[in-house]
Amino acid sequence: MCGPAAWAADTPQDLVLKGDATCTACHDEADGPELLAIGKTRHGTQADTRTPTCTSCHGDSTEHVGYKGSGKRPHPSVVFGAKSVNTADARNGACQDCHVKDSKRSHWEGSTHQARDVTCAACHKVHAAKDPVRDKRTQSEVCFACHKEQRNLINKPSHHPIAEGKMSCSDCHNPHGSTGPSLMKRNSVTETCYTCHMEKRGPFVHNHQPVNEDCSTCHNPHGTVTESLLKSRPPFLCNSCHTPHGPIQPALVNGSALAGSSSGWWTPTVITQGKSCVSCHALIHGSNNPSAAGQRFFR
């Protein structure tokens, strides 16, 4: 095609998208090579008749194209950068016209991101061959642009493998809107957690009520210093709801043996150190033991 293109010197030819010649006559490989990378994406697959052209997203931009003056050229009708004067709805509308068909985006309207005017382009790089937000190794950096607290938390010692690139935010959240709280991917926090931690679902002979209600009562899934992503350290965490074994003060080991304590073996150190309350109440998510030993999540 190079020959005819070369000969048809004054006839603008499409470079990437159907009908893009008006735009790529100027925004070509010399002016904006990064823009042409859209050709490497699903949007640039011309065999798919649904794929857009430049004006599908940027509007007809007649003032921008037809400008003859010597001053600053007007912007295209719709632009997506930080200084865009277009409303979020106007910017997102270009995407939604097509992607509204995706069932994973059906609850975008009314979602937190929609209500706070987050635009599709705030997270997605449409012209890039590889969109960082769609790669689990780089996705979290995109999310952290707004969610600063989570950037701190994932670097704490007890964490899901997000920093290691083995999990992504979208494994649990659907940023396009969901039927669960906090844009949870499934209908609730527990239902989302059970997708990987199904052994906690029960029901058990002895259920621990917060387990069924909301995992985040005790856990912070983004990261903590305490083992098992616990929000705070037992016994203090457990003491938020429970009375411990009498008037025991927290203390640390001094080398004395644990067994045989005359005042009961749940000594201050047993209460405070090791796995604390969970040392004995080991099946804290629930016990299916039908004997008396299963009571209070012992066995």
Partner 1 sequence: MKTREQLFGFQQKLLVLALLAAFGPAHAADDEVAKLIKPDTASISAGAAVAGAFRPNGSLFGQYNGWANNSSAVLLDFDLIQRNDETGTWVTAAGRDLGLDSRELSLGSQRQGAWKVSLDYSELVRHDPRTLNTGLQGIGSSQLTVNSLAATGTGANQNLDIKRTSYSLGLEDWITPGVSVELSVKSEDKAGARLSGVGGYCGPVVPSAFCAIASGGLLMLAEPITSNTQQLEAKLNWVGTGYSLTAGYYASLYRNDKNATQISGINGNLSNLSNLSALLSQPVSQAPDNQAYQMYLSGTYKLTPTINTTFHYAATHATQSDSFASSGTPAAAGLPSSLNGVVDSTLAQLGVTARPMPKLSLLANVRYEDIADNTPHALYGGTYSNQTNSSTKTNSKAEATYLFPENYRATFGVDYNWTKRKLPDVGSTLLLIPGDSLTSIRETTNELVYRAELRKALTDSLNATLVYSQSRRDGSHWVNLGATTSAYPNTYQPLRYVDVTAGGVFPTTMMDRNRDKVRVLLDWAASDALSLQFNGESGHDVYSAPNTAAGLKSANTFALGVDASLAVTDDWKLTGFVNYGEQLMNVSQTAGYIARLNNVTTNYGVGVLGKLSGKTEVGGDLSYLDDNNAYGLGSGNSAAPGVLPDVSYNTIALKLFAKYALDKQSDVRVDLVHQNITFHDWAWGSASTPYAYSDNSTVSMQPNQIVTYLGVKYVYRLK
How far apart are CB 110 and partner 1 at their closest, in Å? 4
Q: Which is nearer to partner 1, 62 or 155 (CB)?
A: 155
Q: Is the dihedral of CA 195, 199, 205, 210 positive or negative?
A: negative
Residue 230 CA to residue 221 CA, distance in Å, equals 8
Is the peptide bond preceding residue 12 cis, with omega within 30 degrees of 0?
no
How far apart are CB 126 and partner 1 at their closest, in Å? 14
How far apart are CB 2 and partner 1 at their closest, in Å? 4
Classified as helix, coil or strand, 207 is strand
Nearest by Cα to 289 from 211, 205, 201, 199: 205
Q: Which is nearer to partner 1, 16 or 94 (CB)?
A: 16
How far apart are CB 66 and partner 1 at their closest, in Å? 19
How far apart are CB 119 and partner 1 at their closest, in Å? 13
Q: Which is nearer to partner 1, 71 or 290 (CB)?
A: 290
Q: Are the C-beta atoms of residues 38 and 17 closer than 8 Å to each other?
A: yes
Phi, psi of 206 (to 5 degrees): -120, 110
Lookup result for tokens 């749940």: 266
